[in-house]
Structure 1
Amino acid sequence: MQWKTLDSAPSLPPLYWRAALKRKITGRTLPEHGLRCRVSIDPKRVAAYRKVCGFADSPILPATYPHILAFGLQMQLLTDKSFPFPLLGLIHLSNRIRIHRPLGGVSDLSVAVHAQNLKPHAKGATFDLITTVEDSLGLLWEAESRMLCRGVKLEGAAEDIAQSPPDQVSELTRWKAPVDIGRRYARVSGDYNPIHLSALTAKLFGFPQAIAHGLWNKAHTVAALGEHLPSANIEIDVEFRKPVRLPGEVTLLSSAAGSSGELRLKGAGDIEHMVGKWRPIA
């Protein structure tokens, strides 16, 4: 893996322009390089993120917050000329984060992103977007987001690695996903994908109404689990099933508190939006 080190986190508006212009699949190999840069934590941005995602105040960063620190780098990688798939239209299938040490007392961090593991899928091809966050002591946090690009033809058999839905779970809480949550999450995350912003812009991409960001669903779930989860040496793995249409209401079911457990996020009519589990890092 070759690394390009940037002086600062990329500016998002030009990257959105680049994403809007690229609509075609231009290849079948992932770029050989990754991107990295140093970032600093802005307490005001963290506070705004907590409010939108339902996290309580704490000296420790929300477990999902490093996604926000990495978003500009991810956008730069996924809109680079060497990246074969158009960013608009990618589908986020699953997300796993690993928290190696508590995210407390951190201010200056090094973030790196790269793509790997291109594989055939029944509907196209999947790849993993890998993000790592380091502090002065080494690896602090990492994430793996599996993305699907429809319409890519790859040699080989598609594998099905879906999680089985949890069974030993009971209702923990429920919350509303208001009609404007896609716009509010976009303001704190930088992720202005049109499918999340309004019914009008979502219809351009074949959705009858706007849908919540998958990572907002995950963040709100982690916030709701709160005290049930250890603050470090934990991996939280979720699979996104059916999108949460806005406005909507969801119910979180989970197993008892402990170092490992399972969760399920469901909507009206028992629609399964997300399933997941947490456990100590192997």
Structure 2
Amino acid sequence: MAQETRLEYQSLPAVAPSYLRAATTLSGGLSQGETIPDIVAEIADLEVRAEELAKYRKVCGFRHSPYLPVTYPHVLAFPIHMAVMTHKQFPLKLLGLIHIRNEITQYRNIEVAEKLHLQVSVGGHEEVAKGVEFGLVTRVRDRAGDLIWEATATMLSRQKTSVSDSHSKPRKKPEEGLPFEPSDEASWDVPADIGRRYASAAGDYNPIHLSPWSAKLFGFPRAIATGMWTKARAAAELEPHLKQSAYTLSVGFKKPVFLPSTARFAYNTGDNGADFALTNDKGDILHLLGDVRYV
């Protein structure tokens, strides 16, 4: 059994070196019989910076509160995510990875003033028709050691596999209706600079989100909105309607939101949580599909 690689930080690692390693890594993939080794990174007694939190709240639409937005621990852990996925033991190329699903469970509200212990881990993979999927897992504990927040970001690395897609279920088209009956909706104006504004608040400077020119280098006609911005914006929209602070917030990222654009956020809340979707303004392109379930 391969030995686990452990990384321990006294302060958050700089993101710039990770971007440099990502930009200069020209190849990556899993060979036959190879998998992603176990890599675990940790940081203790992490404190939230008020000015950075305020910027994040503003760009994502969260109200001021004594508690962290449900998606904010993802931002706190982002420098460690980058360090793990550009580590020399990590076999996949970071640029080109696709974030396809994201699930967050918040076990209680997290106070802004709390000191937090963050752990990020990867290890193993699953072959699918389009490539290999793996989970980037983040866990947050309080000073007593209790687990208060955890998330799994499911990532796809495109490569040839032995899995056939001939038995995959046909996708339901948006025009055939959403898998829930919306009771409310809101129109979102998604400006051309939202990728740059989110990057400034969250540290995610992926070039496909920053400008039309940098996005074209990766095959996109225009810049696209960051998936975790759309999830955070959805969480901010739903927050006033939720009855409990302990819940699981799950999303599947579908078609990209090209910038600028107008999007339609449809949702339905109930005793068990909420269902929601983000489409284009005409409703015939599905960008995001998710739900909230109380725990």
Normalising by structure 2, we get a TM-score of 0.89
Q: State the shift of 1:46 in Å.
A: 0.5
Tell me, yes or no, if the aligned pair for 1:116 and 1:130 is still in contact at 8 Å.
no
1:76 counterpart = 2:83: yes
2:291 is aligned to 277
The size of the alignment, in residue pairs, is: 280
SS at match of 2:205: coil
**1:98 Cα deviation after fit:** 0.2
Query: Shift of residue 81 of structure 1?
Result: 1.0
Q: Give the Cα separation in 2 of the matches to 1:277 and 1:7.
A: 36
Runs of 4+ in structure 1 off by over 6 angstroms are 161-164
Report the Cα distance in structure 2 between the residues aligned to 1:167 and 1:190, rounded to whole angstroms: 34
- Tell me the distance in 1 between the aligned counterparts of 2:43 and 2:168: 35
Does residue 246 (structure 1) correspond to residue 259 (structure 2)? The answer is yes
For 1:157 and 1:32, the matched residues in 2 are separated by: 27
Distance in 1, matches of 2:168 and 2:76, equals: 31
Contact 1:171 / 1:251 at 8 angstroms: preserved in 2?
A: no
Q: How far apart in 2 are the matches of 1:277 and 1:161? A: 21
Equivalent in the alignment of 1:119: 126
Letter in 2 for 1:119: E
Letter in 1 for 2:151: A
CA distance in 2: counterparts of 1:123 and 1:269, whole angstroms: 29
Of the three residues 136, 139, 143, the one matched with 2:143 is 136
Of 17, 20, 32, the match for 2:23 = 20
1:145 paired residue among 153, 172, 178: 153
Displacement after TM superposition at 1:174 (Å): 1.5
2:204 to 191, 213, 216: 191
Q: Distance in 1 between matches of 2:184 and 2:26?
A: 42
Note the alpha carbon deviations across 1:125-148, whole angstroms, 9 max, x for none: 111110001112311100011100
Query: Structure 1 227/51 Cα, relative in aligned 2: closer, same or farther at 3 Å?
Result: same
Greater radius of gyration (CA):
2
Please give the root-mean-square deviation of Cα atoms over the aligned residues, in Å. Answer: 2.0
Equivalent residue letter for 1:16: Y
Q: Does structure 1 residue 11 correspond to structure 2 residue 17? A: no
Task: Confirm whether residue 33 of structure 1 aligns to residue 39 of structure 2.
Answer: yes
Amino acid at match of 1:148: L
- Aligned match of 1:54: 61
Please give the secondary structure, in 2, of the residue aligned with 1:201: helix
Query: Structure 2 vs 1, CA of residues 46 and 184 (structure 1 numbering), >3 Å: closer, same or farther?
Result: same
